[in-house]
Amino acid sequence: MKDQEMIERRVSSESIYKGKILHVKRDEIELPNGKPAFREYAEHGGAVAILPLTAEGEVVLVRQYRYAHGRVFLELPAGKLDSADEEPFAAAVRELKEEVGAKAGRVTPLGVLVPSCAILTERIHMFLAEDLTFGDSAPDEDEFLEVVKMPLSSLVKMVMRGEIEDAKTQVLALKVWQMKGEPQ
Protein backbone atom coordinates (compact mmCIF):
# COMPACT_ATOMS: atom_id res chain seq x y z
CA MET A 1 0.00 0.00 0.00
CA LYS A 2 1.35 3.42 -0.93
CA ASP A 3 1.62 6.18 1.68
CA GLN A 4 -0.95 8.26 -0.21
CA GLU A 5 -3.48 5.45 0.18
CA MET A 6 -3.12 5.49 3.99
CA ILE A 7 -3.80 9.18 4.65
CA GLU A 8 -6.70 10.10 6.94
CA ARG A 9 -8.48 13.37 6.14
CA ARG A 10 -9.59 15.79 8.88
CA VAL A 11 -13.28 16.68 8.62
CA SER A 12 -13.52 18.81 11.77
CA SER A 13 -11.48 19.57 14.87
CA GLU A 14 -12.54 20.31 18.45
CA SER A 15 -10.35 21.69 21.22
CA ILE A 16 -10.91 19.64 24.38
CA TYR A 17 -8.36 21.30 26.66
CA LYS A 18 -5.75 24.03 26.26
CA GLY A 19 -3.07 24.07 28.92
CA LYS A 20 0.38 25.54 29.44
CA ILE A 21 2.17 22.54 27.91
CA LEU A 22 -0.48 20.45 26.15
CA HIS A 23 -3.43 21.22 23.91
CA VAL A 24 -5.80 18.23 23.65
CA LYS A 25 -7.90 17.89 20.51
CA ARG A 26 -10.54 15.56 19.09
CA ASP A 27 -10.76 15.43 15.31
CA GLU A 28 -13.47 13.84 13.22
CA ILE A 29 -11.75 12.18 10.26
CA GLU A 30 -12.43 10.25 7.12
CA LEU A 31 -10.49 6.98 6.83
CA PRO A 32 -8.83 5.99 3.54
CA ASN A 33 -11.83 3.71 2.83
CA GLY A 34 -14.21 6.69 3.21
CA LYS A 35 -15.64 5.66 6.60
CA PRO A 36 -15.83 8.18 9.47
CA ALA A 37 -13.76 7.88 12.66
CA PHE A 38 -12.19 10.16 15.27
CA ARG A 39 -8.71 10.80 16.63
CA GLU A 40 -7.81 12.23 20.03
CA TYR A 41 -4.33 13.63 20.47
CA ALA A 42 -2.29 16.19 22.36
CA GLU A 43 -0.35 18.97 20.68
CA HIS A 44 3.01 19.75 22.28
CA GLY A 45 5.39 22.54 21.27
CA GLY A 46 8.51 20.38 21.21
CA ALA A 47 11.48 19.73 23.44
CA VAL A 48 15.19 19.04 23.57
CA ALA A 49 17.26 16.34 25.28
CA ILE A 50 21.01 16.44 25.78
CA LEU A 51 23.54 13.73 26.58
CA PRO A 52 26.43 15.56 28.29
CA LEU A 53 29.57 13.43 27.96
CA THR A 54 32.68 14.31 29.95
CA ALA A 55 36.25 13.79 28.71
CA GLU A 56 36.41 10.82 31.11
CA GLY A 57 33.48 9.12 29.37
CA GLU A 58 30.92 9.94 32.06
CA VAL A 59 27.35 10.94 31.30
CA VAL A 60 25.75 13.71 33.35
CA LEU A 61 22.15 12.83 34.26
CA VAL A 62 19.49 14.16 36.59
CA ARG A 63 17.23 12.43 39.05
CA GLN A 64 13.83 14.04 39.36
CA TYR A 65 10.32 13.23 40.46
CA ARG A 66 7.85 12.81 37.61
CA TYR A 67 4.33 13.46 38.82
CA ALA A 68 2.54 11.59 36.02
CA HIS A 69 4.24 8.36 37.12
CA GLY A 70 4.47 9.12 40.84
CA ARG A 71 8.17 8.35 41.17
CA VAL A 72 11.72 9.51 40.62
CA PHE A 73 13.33 8.90 37.21
CA LEU A 74 17.00 8.93 36.23
CA GLU A 75 17.15 10.75 32.90
CA LEU A 76 19.18 13.04 30.70
CA PRO A 77 18.82 16.82 30.94
CA ALA A 78 15.88 17.97 28.84
CA GLY A 79 13.27 20.65 28.54
CA LYS A 80 10.54 22.09 26.40
CA LEU A 81 11.04 24.75 23.78
CA ASP A 82 10.06 28.09 25.29
CA SER A 83 8.28 29.22 22.13
CA ALA A 84 7.37 28.01 18.66
CA ASP A 85 10.27 29.95 17.16
CA GLU A 86 12.97 28.98 19.68
CA GLU A 87 15.81 27.16 17.94
CA PRO A 88 16.31 23.67 19.41
CA PHE A 89 20.09 24.23 19.56
CA ALA A 90 19.61 27.34 21.74
CA ALA A 91 17.15 25.46 23.96
CA ALA A 92 19.64 22.60 24.39
CA VAL A 93 22.40 25.02 25.43
CA ARG A 94 19.99 26.69 27.88
CA GLU A 95 18.77 23.42 29.41
CA LEU A 96 22.31 22.08 29.79
CA LYS A 97 23.27 25.16 31.82
CA GLU A 98 20.02 25.28 33.82
CA GLU A 99 19.85 21.62 34.81
CA VAL A 100 23.48 20.55 35.29
CA GLY A 101 25.46 23.82 35.23
CA ALA A 102 27.44 22.83 32.14
CA LYS A 103 28.61 24.67 29.07
CA ALA A 104 29.66 22.63 26.05
CA GLY A 105 32.52 23.40 23.68
CA ARG A 106 30.90 21.11 21.12
CA VAL A 107 27.19 20.32 20.64
CA THR A 108 26.24 17.75 17.99
CA PRO A 109 22.65 17.31 16.77
CA LEU A 110 21.59 13.64 16.82
CA GLY A 111 18.17 13.76 15.19
CA VAL A 112 14.60 13.91 16.40
CA LEU A 113 12.66 11.48 18.59
CA VAL A 114 8.86 11.24 18.32
CA PRO A 115 8.06 9.62 21.68
CA SER A 116 4.41 8.70 21.09
CA CYS A 117 3.37 9.17 17.46
CA ALA A 118 -0.20 7.90 17.92
CA ILE A 119 -1.35 10.45 20.50
CA LEU A 120 1.26 13.22 20.87
CA THR A 121 2.74 15.73 18.40
CA GLU A 122 5.87 16.24 20.55
CA ARG A 123 9.21 16.12 18.75
CA ILE A 124 12.32 15.89 20.94
CA HIS A 125 15.48 17.29 19.33
CA MET A 126 18.44 15.26 20.60
CA PHE A 127 22.01 16.50 21.12
CA LEU A 128 25.39 15.25 22.31
CA ALA A 129 27.29 17.81 24.39
CA GLU A 130 31.08 17.44 24.77
CA ASP A 131 34.09 19.49 25.91
CA LEU A 132 32.17 20.39 29.05
CA THR A 133 32.99 23.01 31.65
CA PHE A 134 30.93 23.16 34.82
CA GLY A 135 29.62 26.02 36.89
CA ASP A 136 26.46 26.63 38.88
CA SER A 137 23.17 25.20 37.68
CA ALA A 138 20.00 27.29 37.65
CA PRO A 139 16.97 24.98 37.54
CA ASP A 140 13.51 26.45 37.09
CA GLU A 141 11.85 27.26 40.42
CA ASP A 142 9.54 24.25 40.05
CA GLU A 143 12.41 21.80 39.29
CA PHE A 144 14.07 19.78 42.04
CA LEU A 145 16.99 17.88 40.56
CA GLU A 146 19.92 15.80 41.72
CA VAL A 147 22.85 15.64 39.30
CA VAL A 148 24.35 12.16 38.80
CA LYS A 149 27.45 11.18 36.82
CA MET A 150 28.17 7.67 35.60
CA PRO A 151 30.19 6.01 32.85
CA LEU A 152 28.40 5.79 29.49
CA SER A 153 28.94 2.03 29.64
CA SER A 154 27.04 1.82 32.95
CA LEU A 155 24.13 3.84 31.55
CA VAL A 156 23.93 1.58 28.48
CA LYS A 157 23.95 -1.51 30.71
CA MET A 158 21.11 -0.01 32.77
CA VAL A 159 19.14 0.65 29.57
CA MET A 160 19.68 -2.92 28.38
CA ARG A 161 18.62 -4.35 31.77
CA GLY A 162 15.38 -2.35 31.59
CA GLU A 163 16.31 -0.07 34.51
CA ILE A 164 15.95 3.14 32.46
CA GLU A 165 12.37 3.59 31.24
CA ASP A 166 12.64 7.15 29.91
CA ALA A 167 12.54 6.98 26.10
CA LYS A 168 14.79 9.96 25.36
CA THR A 169 17.45 8.66 27.73
CA GLN A 170 17.32 5.19 26.18
CA VAL A 171 17.57 6.45 22.62
CA LEU A 172 20.33 8.98 23.26
CA ALA A 173 22.41 6.57 25.36
CA LEU A 174 22.25 3.91 22.65
CA LYS A 175 22.94 6.40 19.83
CA VAL A 176 26.00 7.82 21.59
CA TRP A 177 27.18 4.33 22.57
CA GLN A 178 26.97 3.31 18.90
CA MET A 179 28.94 6.42 17.90
CA LYS A 180 31.62 6.08 20.57
CA GLY A 181 32.04 2.29 20.65
CA GLU A 182 30.79 -0.65 22.66
CA PRO A 183 31.10 -0.34 26.46
CA GLN A 184 33.42 -2.71 28.30
List active site positions: 141
Report the alpha-carbon distance of residue 115 to residue 44 in Å, rounded: 11
Q: Torsion angle, CA of 95/101/104/109, rounded to 10 degrees?
A: -20
Burial of 184 (0-12, 13-18, 19+ CB in 10 A): exposed
Burial of 173 (0-12, 13-18, 19+ CB in 10 A): buried
List residues bridging with 47 in a β-sheet. 80, 124
